[in-house]
Amino acid sequence: MNMKKRRGRTSRKRRNHSRCFSQCGVNLSHKCEYIRLKKWLKERGYEDSILRPAQFSETGRGLMTTKALQVQLIIALPEKCLLTTDTVLNSYLGEYIIKWRPPVSPLTALCTYLIAEKWFHKKSLWHPYLDLLPETYTCPVYLQQEAVNLLPEPLRRKAHEQRSLVQELYNSSKSFFFSLQPLFPEDVESIFNYSAFQWAWCTINTRTVYMKHSQKECFSREPDNYALAPYLDLLNHSPSVQVKAAFNEKTRCYEIKTLSRCAKYKEVFINYGPHDDQCLLLEYGFIATSNPHNSVHVGTDTLLKYIIPEDKQRHRKVSILQEHRLLNNLTFGWDGPSWRLLTVLKLLCLEAHQFTSWKKVLLGDTISERNEKKSLDLATKICTSLTEETRQALQKVSLLKRDYVHLVNQLTLVEALHMEDLKILLLSAENLRHLCCTTI
C-alpha cells in the first residue's frame, strides 16, 4: 500500500507480530458491536460480501476473506463513512473552529472532535465506530517511562520527542478547549484532559489513512491529510504483501486493491510501507517479527568511541563525514553491515599516508587490503559491543517484568524489539566472520 506516515493503527496486544498466512481466524461477525458497525456502514452506502472481522492468534483482531483473493479490489469505503476535517467543520464544532484565532491545526480539530464524540457516546452519530476503538495504545506516547528508557536508540530519542510534541500540542490547545464550554453541561477541563487528548492523538496517528484535503483558511498551515476509515482500519500490516490504496475521485470511495493472493478464510493484510520495527513501534505501536526492513542503528557516539586518539586526522575525518551527511543511518542489517556503515569505517581507518584518498573511499573504491581488513575488524568490534548492550538491555527488561507486573505488556513489546535486534546482530557477526576470511 506504500502507506505514508500516519496511515495506520494498532488496536491489539501482540505477543508475536509475525504475519502468518496459514492462520485461520475466529469469525466475530455475530458479535453485537460488529453487527451495529455493519448496519451503520450499510446506512452510509457500504456493504461487504468478502471480508469478515475475525480474531487471529498471531495478530489479534483483523479481517479475513470468505473467498480466495487474486489481484482485485477488496474494499471500497464511501466518502460518507470517512471521518475527516470536513466532518468536523460540518458538526457543532464548525462555528467554533472558524472563528478561533490563531487557527487550530487539522490534527487538533480531529482530536477535539474525537474527544467530544466519545464523551457524547451513544448520542454520537459515530458511536458504532467509536465503540470498537481501543481504549489504550502501545506507541511511545502511552508507554511508561520505565519502558521508554529501555528502548534502543534512535527510537528512545524519537519517543521522547513524540511525547513532548503531544504534550506541547495539548498545552497549546487548552484555550480552544475552554471556548467550547457552551457545548457541554460539565466542565470542559474534565472532558478535554490530557489523557483524553493522548487517546485521540494516538487514534489519529495510528489508524488514519492518507487522504489529501484542500487547504482551508480556518485551519493552520499544517498538512490536512487524515481520514479515519471505519472497518477498513481493521486490516493489519504485513511487510510481505503488496496493495494499492487511494481515494478514488470518480467513485468517491477510499479503495484498496490487493496485489497479493490470499486463501479462503485467511487473514487479509495491507502494507503500511517499507518501515523497520523502530518506525512501526513509534508510529503504530507494534513490531513485525522477521521484518525484512529491520536494522540495528549505530549511533554517532558509538561510532566515535572507536576513533584512535592518536589519529592526527581524526577531526578532519569526522568533519568530512559530517559535511557529506554520512553520520546518520548507519546500520547492521540481516546481511551484515550496510554499505554506508562500511564506507564510513573505511574512511575512519585510513592511515596518514592514505588520507588524501578519502574521496575514492566515498566513491566505493578499494584503497588497500589492510584498510579493508581494519574496517571489517572495526565493524566486528562495534557489532560485538552492540550485541553485549542488547543482551544487557534484555536482562534489564527481564528484571523489570518481574518487579513491575503492571508493565508486563509494555515491557514484552520492548523485549521483542531487542530480540529482533539481537537476531540481526548475531547474523551480522556471522557475515562479518565470512567477510574477514575472504579478505585475508
pLDDT digit string (tens) for 36-93?
Answer: 999 999 999 998 879 999 999 888 999 999 999 999 999 999 999 999 999 999 999 9
pLDDT of residue 2: 42
| Beta carbons of 18 and 58 less than 8 angstroms apart | yes
CA–CA separation, 217 and 101 (whole Å): 11
The mean per-residue pLDDT over the stretch 290-310 comes to 88
pTM summary value: 0.88
For residue range 330-350, list pLDDT tens digits in order.
999 999 999 999 999 999 999
Q: How confident is the model at residue 307 (pLDDT cuts 50, 70, 90)?
A: confident
The pLDDT > 70 percentage for the chain reads 94
pLDDT at residue 145 tops 80: yes
pLDDT of residue 47: 85
For residue range 363-378, list pLDDT tens digits in order.
999 999 999 999 999 9
pLDDT at residue 312 tops 90: no
pLDDT at residue 326 tops 80: yes
CA–CA separation, 141 and 10 (whole Å): 13
Beta strands at 208-210 and 226-228: parallel, antiparallel or unpaired:
antiparallel
The mean per-residue pLDDT over the stretch 238-253 comes to 95
pLDDT of residue 97: 97
pLDDT of residue 388: 96
Q: Which amino acid is at 134?
A: P
pLDDT at residue 6 tops 70: no
Q: How far is CA 170 from CA 24, 121, 165, 278, 389, in A?
A: 42, 22, 9, 25, 36
State the average pLDDT for the chain. 91
Ranking 93-107, 186-200, 270-284, 306-320 by mean pLDDT, the lowest is 306-320
* Sign of the CA dihedral running 284, 286, 291, 297: positive
Q: How confident is the model at residue 361 (pLDDT cuts 50, 70, 90)?
A: very high
pLDDT of residue 196: 98
For residue range 179-214, list pLDDT tens digits in order.
999 999 999 999 999 999 999 999 999 999 999 999
If one compares 20 and 235, the residue with the highest pLDDT of the two is 235
Burial class (CB in 10 A: 0-12, 13-18, 19+), 195: exposed
pLDDT of residue 301: 87
Please give the span between the terminal C-alpha atoms of the chain, in angstroms, as a whole number: 45
CA–CA separation, 39 and 347 (whole Å): 64
Q: How confident is the model at residue 23 (pLDDT cuts 50, 70, 90)?
A: low
pLDDT of residue 304: 85
Q: How confident is the model at residue 169 (pLDDT cuts 50, 70, 90)?
A: very high
pLDDT at residue 21 tops 50: no
pLDDT at residue 1 tops 50: no
CA–CA separation, 13 and 416 (whole Å): 13
CA–CA separation, 420 and 67 (whole Å): 34
Say how many residues make up the chain.
440
User: SS3 of 262, please?
Assistant: strand
Beta strands at 253-258 and 243-248: parallel, antiparallel or unpaired:
antiparallel
Q: Mind giving me the DSSP string for 185-253?
A: SS-HHHHS-HHHHHHHHHHHHHHEEE------TTB-SS---EEE-TTGGGPEE-TT--EEEEEETTTTE
